[in-house]
Structure 1
């Protein structure tokens, strides 16, 4: 028996471990985050524009834009970002500014606001900590749907701001935002001057959002904009705006309501009224995999939004942008619109919009517009967009002394490819 004990013990050990898998190799530790990361945003766009003004020719623009920058890793809550913006015109048969006398090329072509430029787009120091984010320097600011404060991201040269911004989320479901800016760097490029280059002044932006009532979102804001008087606006764009937004689902639809009023400031011209109102109502629903929207946006006469991303409102032909921004006097805008967005084939999305435009009397005598957008997202980096818009003007309205801010038929078409990294 003693000769069989060792082999039996050895066999028992082998049998007991036969079903035990080999230990998994330890997962490699994740690569440390680099101290500095690159920023790259490239866009190439062809755009055609035609305004039926007998003094203007149609225009074509083939432009490329690069945003190149660096952002640092967070260090004890601190980080920094620097970004340059560079636009080139390969085909420059267009007027690239809002003023023919200051346009660097082709002043009698239709306006397409993508000038060649090389400039500092953003440069800021940021701190995050204690449920607070602080930024100081040149920065992008977009509030809510950008109807009052935005970056004009549609154009090649975006709008950024010089100042400070603070956002705090210490209270659950409550976001408090404040910003002080003394300059809005506009979209007309580094060669522009005066109000085309920037809107300077003292601007205080307050925005509070609360989401503690389930799916209901409530926002209150106060935008106090006291701009320097310039030859371009003579104080007309200065304003104090107070308003609120409520969004809530109701059965199969989502309701959006926004109301605001605007008062003049010490720098406002005498003819500007003491009080002007704003209303935006919208009903949205998703049916058959398609998003539908029915809305109405209304601006009283002399109600202006000089820092807005106006391309997102009142049609993609941009016929009412001057009046809405306050670059020309706004006789009032009423916009009744309907839209839908649906997926089609090959992962593309197709959107259509119809607008009926009128003045503050809601007579809808400015005209109508049809817009269509086709978008294809290839992956997280590549996005292609084709956009068509046609505005049919009814000419100057019949009211004595009234002026239609968009008296000419306008056609625009663009196709672009975007790459971000």
Structure 2
């Protein structure tokens, strides 16, 4: 027996001879207390708006900051935003105090700027995320509250916001917004009285209660509801109370989305009621995505805090009417097609047809094309083209002379590079 045991020990020793000794299991790297935030974008943009001179802009935008590691649920984030103008042959649409300012040139809303973009004290705990300070807020598809991320200077809010997920499948959001920090930069902060017909002031004092909720507890379906109660100190014509709901789900392989909303205090004089609807059907086949969309705004329905660039065409001709509420209604019927190309390129083409909410007038049509290349998780490139052809039917009512006017023919083209770390 002793002999067998000795042989067994000897065999075991031979099997392990030459095998490396196992050291202690390496520990994962601890999360750093301070994480830098770097977001750099360079863009060339061309604009040609009928009755205006052609414009060319070359701008550089940096967002630089840091965020801290969570400590007992608490964290902080600070971020500055800086825009330099290398080619200034355009009108930044931010008033005479901003650079560049040339009212004869086509508008490209990217003024020179240096400002505090975000400053947040946050807390995570008890299924709740709480944020206090200057922050980015985007609800749903940004049709009502967004950050206008296409422009170099994004829109942020001085607010307290919370997100709660304590009920399974339910996400509840609430924000009280004390000030809206718009896209026009710190140099646009001249009082409204200095330029009576100029509305693009940067900081708008407000009293906004925003409630937004979504529910995914039903398999394959997402339900949404919201109430946005908006009051503004220097922009009373923006005031509105908007209530809406949405549903998204798949039916026979087609993704369907529907949204309905009602608005009190619509119109430039806040004396109207108006309805909103948006319906989308999309289908992916052979790695290509096809989508049909119909969006309708009743006359005077306004969305002053929305990322409007994402909706009614990249020419941005409908931005003013949707912001101010001085339009005669809008129906946007669009068809889009997205296809992956060679070398990781993704190409999207969109065709829009525009009329009023009764489709009794014809505002015009638009063609948009976007080419995107993502090189890695930090570096991407984009080219975007938009052409709007107007039919001349009146869309907005100018408030100083009550004249109804149509929309101008507009062409835009841009190329940009993005780096995010």
Task: Give TM-score scaled by structure 2 length.
Answer: 0.91
CA shift in 2, pair 1:102/1:381, >3 Å: closer
Go from structure 1 to structure 2 and tell me whether the alpha carbon gap of 1:330 and 1:199 turns closer, same or farther (over 3 Å shift). farther
Per-residue deviation, 1:18 = 2.5
Task: Tell me how far 1:199 sits from its aligned partner.
Answer: 2.3
In 2, Cα distance between the equivalents of 1:419 and 1:170? 36
Q: 1:249 is matched with which residue?
A: 250
- 2:188 pairs with 1:187: no
1:215-253 deviation per Cα after TM superposition (whole angstroms, max 9, x unaligned) = 1000110000011144xxxx2211000000100100120
Q: Deviations over 1:160-190 (max 9, x none)?
A: 0001001100000001110000111000001
Contact 2:396 2:406 in 1 (8 A): no
Report what 1:85 is aligned to. 81
Matches within 5 A, 1:125-136: 125-136=121-132
Q: Check the 8 A contact 2:333/2:352 in 1, yes or no.
A: yes
For 1:362, the equivalent position in structure 2 comes to 359
Q: CA separation in 2, counterparts of 1:105 and 1:134?
A: 39
Look up the SS of the partner of 2:201 in the other structure. helix
CA gap 1:98/1:396 in 2 versus in 1, 3 angstroms: farther
Q: What's the CA shift for 1:12?
A: 4.8
Deviation digits for residues 119-153 of structure 1 (CA, Å, limit 9, x no counterpart): 00000100000000100000000000000000000
- Could you tell which deviates more after superposition, 106-115 or 151-160? 106-115
Cα offset, 1:405, TM superposition: 4.8
Q: What is residue 213 of structure 2 aligned with on the other side?
A: 208
What is the Cα deviation at residue 25 of structure 1? Answer: 2.6
Which residues of 2 match residues 7-156 of structure 1 at below 5 A? 12-20=8-16, 21-53=19-51, 56-97=52-93, 99=95, 104-156=100-152
1:333 is displaced (CA, Å) by 1.1
Number of the residue aligned with 2:281: 283
Tell me the CA shift for residue 360 of structure 1.
2.0
CA distance in 1, matches of 2:97, 2:322: 22
**What is the SS of the residue equivalent to 2:15?**
coil
**Cα distance change of structure 1 residues 23 and 363 upon mapping to structure 2, 3 Å threshold:** farther
Output the CA distance in 2 between the equivalents of 1:9 and 1:177. 70
Distance 2:255 2:8 in 1: 70
Q: Residue 341 of structure 1 aligns with which residue?
A: 338
SS in 1 for 2:299: coil
Q: Distance in 2 between matches of 1:212 and 1:224?
A: 27
CA contact (8 A) 2:326 2:396 kept: no
Structure 1 match to 2:196: none
Deviations 1:70-116 (A, max 9, x none): 10100000000000000001111010015579664322111000001
Which structure 1 residue ranges, 5 or more long, are not aligned? none
Name the SS of the counterpart of 1:17 in structure 2. Answer: helix
* Root-mean-square deviation over aligned CA pairs: 2.2
SS of equivalent to 1:114: coil
Query: Is contact 1:320-1:405 (8 Å) kept?
Result: no
Query: Structure 2: where are the runs of 5+ without partners?
Result: 192-199
In the alignment, is the contact (CA less than 8 A) between 1:331 and 1:403 conserved in 2?
no
Answer yes or no: is the 8 Å Cα contact 1:44–1:63 preserved in 2: yes
DSSP-derived class of the 2:9 partner: helix
Whether the aligned pair in 2 keeps the contact of 1:97 and 1:103 (CA below 8 Å) is no
Paired residue secondary structure (2:30):
coil
Q: Is the 8 A contact 1:178 1:207 kept in 2?
A: yes
Q: Name the CA distance, whole Å, in 1 between partners of 2:288 and 2:12.
A: 61
User: Which range is displaced more, 359-368 or 380-389?
Assistant: 359-368
Distance 2:343 2:10 in 1: 58
Q: 1:199 aligns with which of 187, 204, 213?
A: 204
Q: 317-326 or 99-108: which moved more?
A: 99-108
1:405–1:78 Cα change, 3 Å? farther
**Alignment of structure 1 residues 314-325 onto 2, 5 Å:** 314-325=312-323
* CA separation of 1:28 and 1:414: change in aligned 2, threshold 3 A: same
Aligned ranges 1:204-283 → 2 under 5 Å:
204-230=209-235, 235-264=236-265, 271-283=269-281
Task: Call closer, same or farther: CA 1:199–1:399 in 2, change over 3 Å.
Answer: closer
Q: Which of the numbers 164, 170, 174 marks the counterpart of 1:174?
A: 170
For residues 165 and 371 of structure 2, the distance between their equivalents in structure 1, rounded to whole angstroms, comes to: 37
Taking a change above 3 Å as real, the CA distance of residues 412 and 220 of structure 1, as seen in their structure-2 partners, is same
Q: SS of the residue aligned with 2:321?
A: helix
Q: Is the 8 A contact 2:301 2:329 kept in 1?
A: yes
The verdict on how the C-alpha distance between 1:23 and 1:398 changes in structure 2, with shifts beyond 3 A counting, is closer
